[in-house]
Amino acid sequence: MALTLKNVYQLYINGEWVNASSGKTIEVDNPSTGEVLTKIQEANKDDIDRAVTAAQAALTEWCQTTPVERQDYLLKIAEVIEKNNDYLAEIVSAEMGMPASTSSFLEIPGAADHFKYFAGCIRAEEGFVATIDANDIAITIREPLGVCGLIIPWNFPISISAWKLAPALAAGNTVVIKPSSHSPLSLLELVRLIDEAGILPRGVINVVTGSGKVCGAALTSHPGIDKLSLTGSVEAGKNVLREASCNIIPATMELGGKSPNIFFADCDLDKAVEGAILGLGVHNQGEVCSAGTRAFVQAEIYDEFVERVCKVLAKLKVGPAWNDETEMGPIVSKEQMEKVLSYIEIGKAEGARLKLGGKRITTPPLDKGYFVEPTVFVDVKNSMRIAQEEIFGPVLCIIKFVSEEEVIQMANDNDYGLGAGVWTRDINRALRVSRAIRTGKVWINTYDQVPANVPFGGCKKSGFGREVHKMAIDEYSNFKTIYIHTGEKPYGFYPES
Ligand code: NAD
């Protein structure tokens, strides 16, 4: 299917496509080819003000819609996503390099499923009642927070948008959403499709585009925003939290990771080899926040594990994203590619042994894009920068361990706390280690499974708050408790005589 992108994408405010007042544009390129795809506009403070005002105006009616009505809206959005699956997948692949197999079969279907899931969740929502005694009860009801500012990274542009949009809208909020400047097109096109299908009242979803520094900062500091939700880097998280604290509003933080993927000697090695590669996130070039990029391998199986993982990674088909054969695409941008390559140099300088890859791919036609070889470092020490810092590329650090205690200590010796994997046939050990690791999520004998009804989120510098589960609706709700006393007489606390 040929992409039919606009030459320049405007902002989507109050159900209309409007120009940004700055008159500035930003180019969006295709990392598989280095070619410019199109341009987006740079929204500034004035544009954010317009978008927030539109969202506030829409809130008056939207927050009065019933759960049945909102279920209906969400299901219609899911239908639009499903109907345009391949079109949206192709845009995601073009703008950020996600292989077609991932964008068509995971990214877009996952987003549709999210809208369906939250459509169901909001129907099941009942609030709760506390019975205090014969005279007193308290009912707790859910109310929307108001206008939500949603900030999206480039690595899963549609599914992470769905992670935030679906629960925010289900809870009765209106939104101003800002995609990353590297991958804004799929969201803009999705909103165009929703608009053309006439699904939502105007102002319920508003899309602003631009850099984090200008557009993102204006959105997060706007006094009309009632809730912020960011998925992004720790640096962006600090800035967003600073603004949230000034306005005393809640914020959900889904930040970076450097997750441990732990392989005990008794694990099923066939599954483990696959799990190490799945954990590395090659299906999205390692640009996966929960990627298990620190593979801890017990000494007894270390050599065989390294050989087998490298053998599979060496055969991986790296190529243009929108190609059925491709198993790993390009890095999102030149800048990110250079960051990945610079970490590879850091790893070598730190004394880690480069076992596989390590270079930019320069064979035509891939030389025009931002392709990096699948890379494996062995003899890595957990204290090295390549093991401590998020690289966000296809770079696996393999670290040898001997005992359970040692590996728990090393797994926890990191600023992040997003995901983790534990591979063993010993159920007692699997649970013991899972409980000892400080992360938001642990997968046992699998990795990176994210169904809609299982919470996702982190602790430590990976952030706080949860998405991808009905508890995400709580992140977008004010719980109001109404305390009712039915006694006829005064308590007698302050007698008149
Ligand atoms: P980024 O922090 O550079 O940008 C994320 C978004 O925040 C973008 O839309 C950006 O424009 C915006 N932004 C940046 N600075 C801002 C500011 N000062 N104020 C407001 N907005 C600002 O991150 P990225 O490079 O797009 O994405 C990669 C990062 O996201 C990685 O660290 C990755 O681990 C993380 N991530 C986390 C999860 C999760 O669920 N925990 C999921 C995906 C990605």
The residues near 142 (Cβ < 8 Å, ≥ 6 apart) are: 125, 127, 171, 473, 477, 478, 479, 480
Distance from the alpha carbon of residue 151 to the mean position of ligand 1, in angstroms: 8
User: What residue ranges in 113-235 does DSSP mark as E strands?
Assistant: 128-131, 136-144, 147-151, 174-178, 205-207, 227-231
Q: Please tell me what DSSP assigns to residue 201.
A: P
Residue 465 CB less than 6 A away from ligand 1: no
Does ligand 1 come within 6 angstroms of the Cβ of 52? no
Q: Measured from the CA of 463, which atom of ligand 1 is nearest?
A: 41
The CB of 254 under 6 Å from ligand 1? The reply is yes
- Indicate which residues carry an active-site annotation: 254, 289
Same fold, 8-255+462-481 and 260-444: no
Query: How many Cβ atoms sit within 10 Å of the Cβ of residue 202?
Result: 14
Going from the Cα of 396 to the center of ligand 1, the distance in angstroms, rounded, reads: 22
| pTM reported for the whole predicted model | 0.97
> For residues 382 and 403, what is the distance between their CA atoms, to the nearest angstrom?
15
Per-residue confidence (pLDDT) for residue 380, from 0 to 100? 98
CATH homologous superfamily for the domain 8-255+462-481: Aldehyde Dehydrogenase; Chain A, domain 1 (3.40.605.10)
Asked whether 216 lines ligand 1 (CB < 6 A), one says: yes
Q: Quick check: helix, strand or coil at residue 129? A: strand
Confirm if 45 and 218 have CB atoms less than 8 A apart: yes
Pairing mode, strands 25-29 and 36-41:
antiparallel
- 133 Cα: distance to centroid of ligand 1 (angstroms): 49
**Which residues, in sequence order, are CB contacts of 90 under 8 Å at separation 6+?**
1, 3, 100, 103, 322
CA atoms within 13 A on the CB side of 390: 24
Please give the chain's pLDDT, 497 residues, in tens. 568 899 999 999 999 999 999 999 999 999 999 999 999 999 999 999 999 999 999 999 999 999 999 999 999 999 999 999 999 999 999 999 999 999 999 999 999 999 999 999 999 999 999 999 999 999 999 999 999 999 999 999 999 999 999 999 999 999 999 999 999 999 999 999 999 999 999 999 999 999 999 999 999 999 999 999 999 999 999 999 999 999 999 999 999 999 999 999 999 999 999 999 999 999 999 999 999 999 999 999 999 999 999 999 999 999 999 999 999 999 999 999 999 999 999 999 999 999 999 999 999 999 999 999 999 999 999 999 999 999 999 999 999 999 999 999 999 999 999 999 999 999 999 999 999 999 999 999 999 999 999 999 999 999 999 999 999 999 999 999 999 999 999 999 999 88
Contact 178 CB / ligand 1 (< 6 Å) = yes
pLDDT value at residue 497: 84
User: Residue 30 in contact with residue 330, Cβ under 8 Å?
Assistant: no
User: In CATH, what class is 260-444?
Assistant: alpha beta
How far, CA to CA in Å, does 489 sit from each of 135, 196, 492?
11, 60, 8
Using CA atoms, how far apart are residues 185 and 157, in angstroms rounded to an integer? 9
Distances (CA, A) of 59 to 53, 123, 205: 10, 20, 10
Give the start-to-end residue ranges of the domains of the chain: 8-255+462-481, 260-444
Q: For a substitution probing ligand 1, which of 48, 245, 255, 293 has the most ligand atoms within 8 Å of its CB?
A: 255
Dig out the tokens for 87 from the structure: 């079109």
Q: Which of 141, 149, 142, 167 is nearest to 56 (CA)?
A: 149
Residues in the chain: 497
Q: Which of 161, 225, 233 to mutate to test the pocket of ligand 1 (most atoms within 8 A of CB)?
A: 233
Predicted pLDDT of residue 1: 54
Q: Cα separation of 242 and 230, whole Å?
A: 13
Among candidate residues 260, 276, 281, the one with its CA nearest the CA of residue 308: 276
